[in-house]
Amino acid sequence: MTPKLSEYVRTEYVWASARIGLGFIILWAFLDKTFGLGFATKASNSWINGGSPTTGFLKFATSGIFEGLFSGLAGNAVVDVLFMLALLLVGIALILGVGMKIATISGGLLMLLLWMTNVPPANNPILDEHIIYLILLIGLMKVRAGQTLGLGKWWSNMSLVKRFPILE
């Protein structure tokens, strides 16, 4: 009798892999925008070289019903810092599996805002990857994905986290 695939792949490892993968996608965006690694951001436009991590996208790549709102935020130093902090902290939290509640909630808010920059989306009247990432983030929180292949169990037992469960 041939074993079923489910006997080899445990659900918690699938969720942990999704968590780590999404964390890397988000952290990579931070790294590329900070150092201009030449993928989405040229070195000359990097944050450390004086570029704004939000200007190019918010000024030239927004469309739809919220275009005016988002293009008006382009290059704002406070928006730049908040955006980059969100990418850094959410990315690290997901990779490590710590602070999953606050990381998934704030990451979900970030994804919703990114989706809103192009409503309706270019290739689908409703969905784009940001909504799928948002749904994935909700799933990661619900299944406690930081507990597998991460530091979530250790993190959850810290006295500060027990005192303030939102930090779990």
Please provide the DSSP assignment of the chain as one string. -PPPHHHHS-HHHHHHHHHHHHHHHHHHHHHHHHH--SSSS-GGGSGGGT--TTHHHHHHS-EETTHHHHHTTTT-HHHHHHHHHHHHHHHHHHHHT-SHHHHHHHHHHHHHHHHHTEES-SSSSS--HHHHHHHHHHHHHHTTGGGSSSSHHHHHTSHHHHHSGGG-
Nearest to 98, CA basis, from 161, 143, 21, 159:
161
pLDDT digits (tens, 9 = 90+) for 29-55: 999 999 999 899 999 999 999 999 999
Cα 27 from Cα 25, distance rounded (Å):
6
Q: What's the pTM value of the predicted model, to 2 decimals?
A: 0.91
- pLDDT band, very low/low/confident/very high, at 7 (cuts 50, 70, 90): low
| Domain extent listing, the chain | 8-167
pLDDT digits (tens, 9 = 90+) for 97-137: 999 999 999 999 999 999 999 999 988 988 999 999 999 99
